[in-house]
Amino acid sequence: MNAPRLRGLCWDHARCVQPMKAAAARYAAEHGVLVTWDTRPLAAFNDQPLSELPDRYDLVFIDHPTVAATALSGRLTALDTILHPQVLADVASDSVGGSQDTYVWDRHTWAIGVDAACQVAAHRRDLLERLGRAVPRTWSHVVDLAGRHPGAVAMPLYPSDALCSLLSLSAQYDPASLPGSPSWPHPEALALLCRIARAVDTACFELNPPQLLDRMAEGDTIAFAPLVFGYTNRSRPGAPGHRLHFSDLPSPTGRPGGALLGGAGIAVPSTSAHPAEAAHFAAWCARTDVQRDIVVANGGQPASRAVWEDPASDAAVGGFFRSTLKSMATARVRPRDPWWPDYALKASVELHRLLAARTGPAVIGAAMNRMLEEFGPTRGGTSAGASVLEP
């Protein structure tokens, strides 16, 4: 009997591609199941519906805000109908923050979290020392740094990242400030975002997190990125360019909080010809030993808390895990309501356009809420604000 062949789709960054290729090689040797990987851009991972993908995939990396809408469309396999409950319990018990809970919706598990990230701050020690500045802990310190040293502060303002920043800042000022709530978007948060957007280089409007971190590490201008999803490829010893160091987000008070959860999970499309084999591969990738010995060793970011707390793994990523674990463990899960993907896609593009045009916060706030009427909770059949899990 021929060995099963699975085809997967990940996003086109070494953080995803390298560990998945290494995992496929080990899995083939141990289990006789062959897995090959295609890639798609990060923007497509964030925004492209599963319905737009060809039916040939058995494994697909997905972002947690799409879970409800995709599950309702019938495009996903409920993994709890295949995997033993103890397997899922083991994954959940070792998950860092909400990295696994985010893929449970309507009493079913729709993906296995194998990659973890959240919003953090990044800095260049050498540049901050040259400027005689400490790592900013409050937003007033960030604004002061940006004003006194043009170009020293940068933030990814690609559409999806601009919206994530607004979600995070609003949560810092008021945890209840969610799309669909009376306080969305929080006026002080929106005013702060507008102020920062006007202070940073206009190139930030076309940069996603890995692109901004690449520019920060390879250039000699950006000293501090206050709000960016973390990537260990830039903190590891021997990383190309200048090593970056990561820490908790600044906040209005200097106390950490408000970071949004990122990361990714492996889902099995309902069109897969080998759903059982695919589900077992996904669960295998979440095992603590695989997360430590394959994912971390090949440039990935594990979703295993045991690995985040492992000193040897932390040393391999230059202290990234230790420096950001508090943010990771308490990160807020982005809205997962069925209406959210449509709203997020449209609102992020509009927010990006208005910020780039230096539009005032009152006008932007009105636009964000106006779009809720077209794409928000009422259109989705619910009356409540967006649901956000807090691990």
Could you give the C-alpha distances from 283 to 20, 110, 111, in angstroms and in order? Answer: 13, 12, 9
Distance CA 146, CA 135 (A): 13
Residue 180: predicted pLDDT: 87
For residue 349, give the CATH number of its domain.
3.40.190.10
Distance between first and last Cα of the chain: 45
Which amino acid type is present at position 275? P
317, 334, 358: which is the final residue of a domain?
317
Residue 377: predicted pLDDT: 78
Query: What is the residue range of 357's domain?
Result: 119-260+326-391
28 token code pair: 């083939």
Same domain, 217 and 344: yes
Same domain, 266 and 255: no
Residue spans of alpha helices (H) in the chain? 14-31, 42-47, 67-72, 85-93, 125-131, 139-148, 159-173, 187-199, 209-218, 275-285, 288-290, 305-308, 311-316, 320-330, 340-356, 361-375, 377-380
273, 291, 317: which is the final residue of a domain?
317
274, 294, 317: which is the final residue of a domain?
317
Q: What is the pTM of this model?
A: 0.94
Distance CA 256, CA 249 (A): 6
Same domain, 57 and 42: yes
- From 385, 155, 101, 388, select the one nearest 263 (Cα to Cα): 101
Same domain, 17 and 42: yes
Same domain, 225 and 113: no
The gap from C-alpha 135 to its chain's centroid, in whole angstroms, comes to 23
H or E stretch at 247: strand 245-247
- From 70, 104, 71, select the one nearest 85 (Cα to Cα): 104
Same domain, 16 and 142: no
Q: Specify the residue for token string 């008070």.
A: 253
pLDDT tens, position by position, 5-47: 999 999 999 999 999 999 999 999 999 999 999 999 888 887 7
95 token code pair: 């998950």
Q: What's the mean per-residue pLDDT of the chain?
A: 94
Same domain, 161 and 275: no
| Residue 162 contacts residue 355 (beta carbons within 8 Å) | yes
CB neighbour list of residue 220: distance below 8 Å, 6 or more residues apart = 127
Distance CA 116, CA 109 (A): 17
Same domain, 218 and 333: yes
Residue 390: predicted pLDDT: 41
Number of domains in the chain: 2
Same domain, 192 and 219: yes
Could you give the C-alpha distances from 389 to 192, 332, 335, in angstroms and in order? Answer: 25, 6, 8
Q: What is the rounded average pLDDT of the residues 97-124?
A: 98
Same domain, 330 and 214: yes
Same domain, 311 and 333: no
Same domain, 242 and 124: yes
pLDDT tens, position by position, 346-377: 999 999 999 999 999 999 999 999 999 998 87
Q: Specify the residue for token string 């497509």.
A: 44
